[in-house]
Amino acid sequence: MIRLIVLLMVLAIPAKAETIVLGLSHDRVSITATFEGSEILIFGAVKRDAPMPDTGDLGVIITVAGPAVPVTVRRKDRRLGIWVNTDNVEVSAAPTFYAVATSSPMNEILRDVEDLRYRVTIPRAIRSVGALVSDSETFTEALIRIRADQDLYQILEEAVDVEQDTLFRTSIALPANLTEGDYVARILLTRDGRVIDEYTANIPVYKVGLERWLFNLAHENAFLYGLMSLSIAIAAGWLASAAFSLLRR
């Protein structure tokens, strides 16, 4: 009897009329010594199990987020002619990279309550709790401004191309100063400012080759890494001295 009731409840749930089918130009990003950034093409389509609704414009929002880590944001003031740290705010988790691209202006396709629920915009993606200063919002704004200047935070309004309310695509530029980790690409479909479907995909971003070996060596065997670095420095100094001696002759 219980199984029958559960089955009837499942059948009573309406299927989503519009869902996302996603594609990525890169399923991973490799960081090498010559890495100068990359670009990810994100494309997809809207799959419909019913005729397209007549009301409410379709909106597409695409975000790419790097690993979220704690950050300490400090404020400096001039005291007796010296710049010193006065206040600081501990940000619980801030994405090391965050880009948000939209098909239309954000305020037209996403309601504030939906932004609060899905944490779409950059301020919502940053979690700062337990701040002890009265103007803690200014610290978050400063963090956003600094990372935006480094191309780590990007707002790309109207950068998503949507054709016939079915096909969509955009490209996200990844800067050279990326942090390693699993990045998350997220696509949200909206109608009348409400999210009607969400899809996520992981994009691994890691060092490879010699860079990976040196990184692992520095973190797993610091003594050997230091010894190797010292040996290279001594050898470079000796070679430079020998080169100058030859030039003097």
Q: Are residues 64 and 135 in the same domain?
A: yes
The verdict on residue 166 lying in a domain is yes
Q: Let me know: does 174 contact 24? Beta carbons within 8 Å.
A: no
Q: Are residues 117 and 15 in the same domain?
A: yes
Query: With left for phi above 0 and alpha for psi between -120 and 50, is residue 117 left, alpha or beta?
Result: alpha
Q: Are residues 223 and 111 in the same domain?
A: no
Q: How far is the C-alpha of 73 from the C-alpha of 91, rounded, in Å?
A: 7
The verdict on residue 5 lying in a domain is no
Domain residue limits at 227: 208-249
Give first-to-last CA distance, the chain, whole Å.
Answer: 100
pLDDT digits (tens, 9 = 90+) for 6-18: 333 333 434 457 8
Average pLDDT (214-233) is 63
Q: Residue 66: its pLDDT value, please? A: 94
Q: Are residues 65 and 52 in the same domain?
A: yes
Q: Are residues 41 and 63 in the same domain?
A: yes
- Tally of structural domains, the chain: 2
pLDDT digits (tens, 9 = 90+) for 45-96: 988 887 777 777 889 999 999 999 998 887 766 666 676 556 677 888 899 9
Q: Are residues 129 and 249 in the same domain?
A: no
Q: Are residues 151 and 229 in the same domain?
A: no
Q: Are residues 231 and 148 in the same domain?
A: no
Q: Are residues 39 and 98 in the same domain?
A: yes
The verdict on residue 4 lying in a domain is no
Q: Let me know: does 206 contact 200? Beta carbons within 8 Å.
A: no
